Amino acid sequence: MKHGFALTEAQLELQDDVIECCTPGHRMGRGFALLAQDLWFDPGLPKGYLQMLDDFEKIGRYDHSMSVLELGSLFAYDPETALGRTQDFLARVYGVPFVWPSTNGTSILNILALMSATQAGDKVLLQRDSHVSVYSAIVHQGLEPVYLKPNYAKDLGLPLGVTPEDLAAALDQHPDLRAVFLTYPNYYGIATDLTACAELLRRRGVPLIVDSAHGAHYRFHPDLPQAAEESGAALVTQSQHKTCSSLSQGSLALFNDRSLVEPFYEWANLGGFVSTSFSFIILQSLVLGVMQLERQGRALLQNALEATLWARQEIHRIPGLKTFGSEAARPGFKQLDPLRITVDVSGLGWSGFEVYERLSSEFNIYPELATFQNVLLMFTLVDDLRGVRRVVQALRQIASEAPGPFQQPRLEPPPLPPLRVLPRAAMQHRPRRNLPLREAIGQVSAETISAYPPGSAILVGGEEITPEVVEFLQAVKRSGGTLKGASSRNFETLQVLG
């Protein structure tokens, strides 16, 4: 518990008899209270409006700026400040030498992490289905990317993790790699053999950075996959807000390799990715969330795991629906986070998108995402049987009205197109030309387009536009999927380097 209360105590001391002559301007929430006084008798207010202002007034009490020096700063580690002591607490709970908390999500952590481990022009290995922030780091740092295409499980309609064998082959082919960036687990809770990957890289002296955005809770229950920070990776990023109780954008960078701390702070200070008005509310929520994990994590996770075990079995019994568990393990899929339930709805005659739409509009149930074939339900330590039961009942009702099986498109991502120009150069290149799709084939793309599904970049700026890529993107669009980053709304043209 040492230092676990440091930020909270400092915050509470600031509650009484304090006059802030610094930012933020709402003056510890009083700005919202003034608006509430003015609106009190306004008959046109939406229901709940005054309650919301009251809530904001309360939350505002914990919102301060770096001008309150004893709270500390994200731009320099100082063990004498509340924030410094909090970092020590977080490091102890996660069993790593150093932690940097983010109030801008894991997105900036991925950028800072990869930039800290590399120099301009370095060759780095990353998964093709990496989060967009990893691609941002490639552009910012002018890196040369080499991609690992995730293995695709046709039967599940899902991507898997990188296998140690794939990694070894890539290392043999590219002995000049300066860093490797892996995602663990993937969105569907599928976790590869990360320890074997880390060991391989340790032997070759290549630093491993792991995006474990969805794995912040793993170390707190033995039935969850192995925690990324225990694998031997140099640096792990994770979104506390995704699977634990932090407010949105509360994330942690866990350093096993201390030598990365100094360049990380340098980029945090000068890179421009971290707001100089970082949020003490989010930081406070991060500490509370980690405190909860430490004190209640195992018991709450046990509860949630039992509820999802029940749900998985029930859903599997519903005609037309299928789920999978750890029995589906294979290379690239060593363990599964049981709190993720991927429901294959293809037996219903509806797409995952249609089932998502019905769940949200008719039952007020919001899944994490949908693909043609699947709907992904994500549960956390806060969930229990009550909510889970409602989801199962809703799925039962939807399934009972289903038209019957029909073949959903099963689109396998196309081969990786050849890299012709580094992503940074492509991003900066002008002029560009807008060409109809057929004419764009063979040209160098100025656009980076990710397709949902599968939720991965299909074409990256600087790559050659191949017929397979165009066909795949057209098929995704036709089937109701989304093309993120495409300049043409209906995907009729592509921007190429002019």
Ligand X SMILES: Cc1ncc(COP(=O)(O)O)c(C=O)c1O
Q: Return the number of the residue (32 or 255) whose C-beta is nearest ligand X.
A: 255
> If binding is defined by CB under 6 A, does position 251 make contact with ligand X?
yes
Q: Which of 295, 195, 278, 200 is nearest to 244 (CA)?
A: 295
Q: Kindly tell me the burial class for residue 336, based on how many C-beta atoms sit within 10 Å of its own C-beta (0-12, 13-18, 19 or more).
A: buried
Q: Return the number of the residue (128 or 131) whose C-beta is nearest ligand X.
A: 131
> If binding is defined by CB under 6 A, does position 321 make contact with ligand X?
no
Q: In sequence order, what are the residues at sequence separation of 6 or more whose Cβ sits closer than 8 angstroms to the Cβ of residue 144?
A: 121, 122, 123, 124, 419, 422
Q: Which of 183, 342, 456, 493 binds ligand X (CB under 6 A)?
A: 183
Q: Return the number of the residue (116 or 133) whose C-beta is nearest ligand X.
A: 133
Q: Return the number of the residue (6 or 213) whose C-beta is nearest ligand X.
A: 213
> If binding is defined by CB under 6 A, does position 127 make contact with ligand X?
no
Q: Return the number of the residue (236 or 318) whose C-beta is nearest ligand X.
A: 236
DSSP H helical ranges for 16-131: 30-39, 49-60, 82-94, 105-116
Of 101-109, 354-362, 392-400, 425-433: span binding ligand X (CB under 6 A): 101-109
Residue nearest to ligand X (CB): 105
> How many Å apart are CA 231 and CA 389, to the nearest integer?
35
Q: Which of 11, 106, 116, 141 binds ligand X (CB under 6 A)?
A: 106
Least CB distance to ligand X at residue 133 (A): 6
> If binding is defined by CB under 6 A, does position 211 make contact with ligand X?
yes
DSSP H helical ranges for 82-163: 82-94, 105-116, 132-141
Q: Return the number of the residue (152 or 363) whose C-beta is nearest ligand X.
A: 152
The CB-side HSE value for 427 (13 A sphere, CA atoms) comes to 16
Least CB distance to ligand X at residue 431 (A): 32
> How many Å apart are CA 454 and CA 378, to the nearest integer?
17
Binding mask 392-421 for ligand X (x = CB under 6 A): ------------------------------
- Find the length of the chain: 498
Q: What is the dihedral of CA 142, 143, 148, 150, to 10 degrees?
A: -40
Query: Residues 129 to 148: which contact ligand X by CB under 6 A?
Result: 131, 133
Q: Which of 108, 102, 153, 150 is nearest to 133 (CA)?
A: 108
Q: Which of 81, 87, 107, 346 binds ligand X (CB under 6 A)?
A: 107
> How many Å apart are CA 12 and CA 82, to the nearest integer?
12
> If binding is defined by CB under 6 A, does position 105 make contact with ligand X?
yes
Residues near ligand X (CB under 6 A) are 105-107, 110, 131, 133, 183, 187, 211, 213, 239, 251
